[in-house]
Structure 1
Amino acid sequence: MKLPLPAALLAALIPFTLHAEEAHPLHEVLVTDWKAVFGRIEARDLVPARARLGGTLEAVAVSEGDRVEMGQVIGTITDAKLTLQLNAVDAQMAALAAQLDNAEAELKRGEDLVERGVSTVQRLDALRTQVDVLVNQIEATRAERSVIEQQAAEGTVLAPLSGVVLEVPVTTGAVVMPGEAVAMIGGGGFFLRLAVPERHAGFLEEGAEILIGEDGETRTGRLAKLYPQIENGRVTADVEVDGLSEAFTGARVLVRLPVGEHAALMVHQDAVLTRMGLDFVAVEEDGHVTERAVVLGEVQVVEGEALVEVVSGLKPGDMIVQGYTPAKNAGAAGHE
């Protein structure tokens, strides 16, 4: 019958298992401090499609969410007074045309009388002048009609740029004034607009890399523009992101901004052992491997590697054993 060995002796006989070839010293590295803020998805260009003519909105061809192209018709405005003005101009042109016909006939008779010596040259010049005046009046009336036609054409509301219809504040049958917005168009691409506390303004630089989204679905963007004016203690900044969703303008997205740097002790995640809710890191001391309890901070990417910050429990120069795994509990083997 085999007698169980003392647990302390058995633990001494069973060595630790090391997966790493050798230990490496721990050094402080500079890591980026990140500030979590929310950004709003906004269009780069926000331009209203305005009415150029006052009148009644007869038709609206778009609604919120529709995509439009520059110059596309999005509404029609009519003014009944313009039709009446056109009718008045047409009647005036008809009257002038009749007067011109009569003046040309008088001029023809005057030329015949002058040839026979019955009338004077001064009378003939007066008749020619009358014809010229009527011709010019007809041209002026025709130009006036063109102006009215142009005013009527301006009742067509056009999209000022290609993009998405964000808002249509009016409905069919509404009375609109010149300059009133019929629709709001967002175009030119979409970006994230941030409002950052002014105490972080000195750390922000255009072109800096920005982390966007939750930790599980983090993407990177670029700080495209910093606005110089501070409003309500906040700095406005724009972030460019490839493939940003345009489904909901104004949606909030979590953004992490670089706002400083600090020296930290960083270790690989596979160097951390977690047992019973505590974290440990294997450290080599005098040829022996011991486990130290540590308090961990955030995981950050340093030079392309995912490292976790050690807040306490280690010091610079400690020899970290990466990939360390202790042998199985000796007490379980002693009961065989």
Structure 2
Amino acid sequence: MIRPTSLLSGLALAALLALPAFAGEFTAKSVTIPELKAVFGQVESSNVVPARARIGGTIRSIAIQEGQEVKEGEVIAEVVDEKLALQRDAADARIKQLNSQLDNAKLALDRAQQLLGRGVVSQANVDQAKMNYDVAVNQVTAAEADRAVIEQQSSEGSVLAPATGRVLSVPVTLGSVILAGETVGRIATGKYYLRLSLPERHATQIRTESTVLVGRRGMSTSASGGVDAARPGRIVKVYPEIVDGRVIADVDVDGIGDFFVNERTLVWIPVGSHDAIGVPAEAIITRHGVDYVRIAGADGPLDVAVILGSTFEADGKPLVEVLTGLRDGDRILLPEDAQ
């Protein structure tokens, strides 16, 4: 017959052998961590510049499409006004006419000067011929200037990209008739940023230079990867005006140049802080769906049931927040394989 005392001793020994060996300690201490709120941020471009036609006419060619990258000064479309060709021909004909008159005025002036030398005509006749010659010269100069204006207008049919960036939209098609100043394309230039629209109650908690966490592409937590996989960003501007009960803020973050303009993604922003106690993930023991942490008690190791929260960093180390079960200063026992 097995004695009860021997049976209890055997069960206790087996239970001790089944537990992991603990060799290290971690002192739990209360730290202040920020409270994060998940909101949607919308990708914006610092500037959206319209590429406008400088003359009116018909679009003969378009060299851009939505999403294309363009450089400043690049020809993105050609606008043709057929009336300019007719005006140029008319200007050429007028210049020929005035050149003929100039030649006649030059001959008349030379003849008058020769006759003046022989004493046949008076000085008044020479002065009149000189005036007619000067008028002809000025008329030719004015006609050539008019033709230069027409040439300049013809060259302005080339629509140039006003800045380097990505084409957002092309609101015209081949053969479209447009007026001077109409938009041929919209180009997003400069660095991309995230624009946040927050409830008014967070107005006093949003600060410039505060750090935020930006999720990956996608509007759900799973698609954005959660807080752990988010990239850091920085609030660079908080607008002083509240619009429709919302506070507007801009976030600077690297690596969003391949996002679509107006694309939305999750952003976690600090809206407050609270004191929390954290422990390393390896200190958590899960048995039958309940989480425990082994602490060093006065009478030896003691398993304490805990309720866990989110993960945060303290002193560069990842910790799991313990909502209940621990106190500041508790000595947490760490297993040997965690050392």
Are residue 10 (structure 1) and residue 10 (structure 2) matched? Answer: yes
Cα offset, 1:230, TM superposition: 2.7
Preserved contact between residue 74 and residue 158 of structure 1 (Cα < 8 Å):
yes
Q: Which residue of 1 aligns with 2:96?
A: 94
Partner of 1:196: helix, strand, or coil?
strand
Closer, same or farther: CA 160–6 of 1 in aligned 2, 3 Å: farther
Matches within 5 A, 1:120-199: 120-199=122-201
1:20 aligns with 2:23: yes
Distance 1:64 1:125, change over 3 A: same
Mapping for residues 317-336 of structure 1, pairs under 5 Å: 317-323=329-335
SS state at 2:292 partner: strand
Change in CA separation of 1:43 and 1:259 when aligned onto 2, cut-off 3 Å: same
Bigger Cα displacement from structure 2, 6-15 vs 270-279:
6-15
Matched ranges for 1:164-243 at <5 A = 164-213=166-215, 214-215=225-226, 217-243=229-255
Cα gap change, 1:87 to 1:4, in 2 (>3 Å): farther
CA RMSD of aligned residues (A): 2.3
* Cα distance in 2 for residues equivalent to 1:248 and 1:319: 50
User: Offset at 1:64?
Assistant: 1.1
Q: Would the alpha carbon gap of residues 127 and 251 (structure 1) be closer, same or farther in structure 2, given more than 3 Å must change?
A: same
Cα deviation for residue 32 of structure 1 reads: 0.9
Given that 1:61 and 1:74 are in contact with CA atoms closer than 8 Å, whether structure 2 keeps it comes out as yes
Offset at residue 247 of structure 1 (A): 4.9
User: 1:7 Cα deviation (Å)?
Assistant: 6.0
Could you say if the C-alpha distance between residues 297 and 81 of structure 1 is closer, same or farther in structure 2, counting changes exceeding 3 Å? Answer: same
Offset of residue 63 of structure 1: 0.7
Q: Which residue number in structure 1 is paired with residue 317 of structure 2?
A: 305
Check the 8 A contact 1:23/1:284 in 2, yes or no: no
Q: 3-state SS of the aligned residue for 1:321?
A: strand
Compute the TM-score of the two structures, normalised by the length of structure 2.
0.87
Structure 1 unaligned spans of 5+ = 326-336
Q: Distance in 2 between matches of 1:29 and 1:211?
A: 20
The aligned counterpart of 1:329 is none
Residue 302 of structure 2 aligns with which residue? 290
TM norm structure 1: 0.88
Superposed CA offset, 1:2-57 (max 9, x none): 67867644344453544233463x32210011121122223233211111111111
Deviations 1:209-231 (A, max 9, x none): 22122235322222233333332
> Following TM superposition, by how much is the alpha carbon of 1:245 offset from its aligned partner in structure 2, in angstroms?
4.3
Matches within 5 A, 1:12-91: 12-13=12-13, 14-15=15-16, 17-22=20-25, 24=27, 26-91=28-93
Aligned counterpart, 1:246: 258
Amino acid at match of 1:208: S
Aligned AA (2:302) = T
* SS of equivalent residue, structure 1 residue 314: coil
Q: Which amino acid aligns with 1:139?
A: T
Partners of 1:7 and 1:195 in 2: CA distance = 67
2:72 partner SS: coil
Do the aligned residues in 1 keep the contact of 2:308 with 2:322 (CA within 8 Å)? yes
How many Å separate the matches in 2 of 1:23 and 1:111?
115
Query: Is this contact kept in 1: 2:195–2:249, CA < 8 A?
Result: yes
Task: Supply the AA of the counterpart residue of 2:10.
Answer: L
1:253-303 Cα deviation digits (max 9, x unpaired): 221112221111222222222222222222333223222222211111122
Q: Which amino acid aligns with 2:23?
A: A
SS of the residue 2:262 aligns to: coil
2:149 and 2:26 map into 1 onto residues whose CA distance is 88
Residue in 2 that maps onto 1:330: none
Structure 2 distance, partners of 1:303, 1:53, is: 63
CA contact (8 A) 1:30 1:261 kept: yes
SS in 2 for 1:195: strand
Provide the rounded CA distance (Å) in 1 between the counterparts of 2:72 and 2:281: 53
Residues 50, 185 of structure 2: 8 Å contact kept = yes
Contact 2:41 2:265 in 1 (8 A): yes
* Contact persistence 2:43–2:194 (CA under 8 A): yes
1:245 & 1:108 partners in 2: Cα distance? Answer: 73
Counterpart-to-counterpart distance in 2, 1:117 and 1:82? 51
Identity of counterpart residues, as a percentage?
A: 43
Secondary structure (helix, strand or coil) at the match of 1:82 reads: helix
The answer for unaligned runs of 5 or more in structure 2 is: 216-224
Letter in 2 for 1:231: V
